[in-house]
Amino acid sequence: MKSYRVATIAGDGIGPEVTAATLKVLTEALGASRITFEDMPGGAGHYSRTGEVLPDDTFAACRDMDAILHGAAGLPGVNYPDGTEVGNDLHLRLRFRLDLYANMRPIRLWPGVRSPLRDFDGGGIDYVVVRENTEGLYASRGAGVLLRGEMATDTLVVTRKGTERVARFAFDLAQRRKGAPRDGRARVTVCDKANILRSYAFFRAVCDEVHGDYPGVEIDYAYADAITVHMVKRPDFYDVIVAENMFGDIISDLGAATVGGMGISPSAEIGDSHALFQGAHGSAPDIAGQDAASPLATILSGAMMLHWLADRHEDADLRQAGDRVEAAVGRVLAKGDHVPRDLGGQTGCNAMAEAICRALSEEDKTK
Ligand code: IPM
Ligand code: MG
């Protein structure tokens, strides 16, 4: 029986708290013998102490181990001379150096969670934003022009290879899912500004070409401005949305807001041979160290990690463990007696993890 090693970078702010909570739940679901979490340094705090945001040993562990689990990174005031934040450099470097080209962000309204959208209940919103994660406007990061304090430029880069692989990822995902809540149809929505910029028109054209290989999946289009209205007025229409890097960054936060916020929004940053799993939220230094954060986004990212490892290694135990973690989160949320603070409750970070562990062990007893 294969055992797995996970490079674990707790990071800054609430990172250590949500990571510890996640390790507790994943170990409860899978057993300590099957998965080990190797704590690796990195982030803004580490940079302040050592001058390194991503030490070579940490990068080597991320490259060589089976998966990467990350809490959060970034601290106020810890910036580079060009004004950009140091903490973000940790996972941005991992994205580019490990070529994690598909950033999967499920937007799912769980039963028992109230949406700010009054017409939608649990199950009514359930789609995935697939954000291209290695080019687009982010390709210029750290490489833009800064001229005489008068001018600054960053260039949007859209390549055929980069678009084809993320589009194929999106169509494959739509084929595996159960379709949009509204009509059960497998659908990929291309989010762009093809009406204005050639680079986005090229993005759309390449997505169209890839669609040719997926006759069973419907293709749909939405401009990046218009989709923000649709995601509020008819979110049940969506199944999978594929978007350029910056647009994906923006619309995935909006999507998170419609299902309860960043505290319940997981993410998986996936490449052909590596993957990083972390809550879509930041390091929230304002509530760090107070057991106040919600661990749900990181726990659900942990479940995505088990599913990714299960697919990669054809490991049914891991698939089952991932399903069990999601189901346990669902039971706790539906029951409603343990509710994290960002969802209007009083339950602390550690107590949420313990409630989910209890739900897992209770399930075992019924078997
Ligand atoms: C995200 C974040 C990052 C991004 C930042 C923190 C670098 O907003 O993961 O969505 O811009 O991609
Ligand atoms: Mg973001």
Give residue 266's pLDDT: 98
Question: Do 361 and 24 form a contact (C-beta atoms < 8 A)?
Answer: no
Question: Model confidence over 197-206: pLDDT tens digits?
Answer: 999 999 999 9
CA dihedral 269, 271, 276, 281 (to 10 degrees): -10
Give the mutation target among 54, 78, 88 for probing the ligand 1 site: most ligand atoms within 8 A of CB. Answer: 88
CA of 244 to the centre of ligand 2 (A): 13
Q: Which residues are annotated as catalytic?
A: 138, 193, 225, 249, 253
Give the H/E segment covering residue 361: helix 349-366
Question: Model confidence over 184-235: pLDDT tens digits?
Answer: 999 999 999 999 999 999 999 999 999 999 999 999 999 999 999 999 999 9
* CA-267 nearest atom, ligand 1: 9
Give residue 127's pLDDT: 98
Domain formed by 1-100+274-367, architecture:
3-Layer(aba) Sandwich (3.40)
Give residue 32's pLDDT: 78
> Is the beta carbon of 88 within 6 A of some atom in ligand 1?
yes
CA of 247 to the centre of ligand 2 (A): 10
Ligand 1, atom 7, residue with closest C-alpha: 88
> Is the beta carbon of 92 within 6 A of some atom in ligand 1?
yes
Domain formed by 115-259, architecture:
3-Layer(aba) Sandwich (3.40)
Ligand 1, atom 8, residue with closest C-alpha: 249
Give residue 365's pLDDT: 67
Domain 1-100+274-367 shares a fold with domain 115-259 = yes
* CA-278 nearest atom, ligand 1: 9
Distance between CA atoms of residues 321 and 317, nearest Å = 6
| Low-confidence residues of the chain: pLDDT under 50 | none
Distance between CA atoms of residues 269 and 131, nearest Å = 9
Domain layout of the chain by residue ranges: 1-100+274-367, 115-259
* CA-91 nearest atom, ligand 1: 7
pTM, two decimal places: 0.97
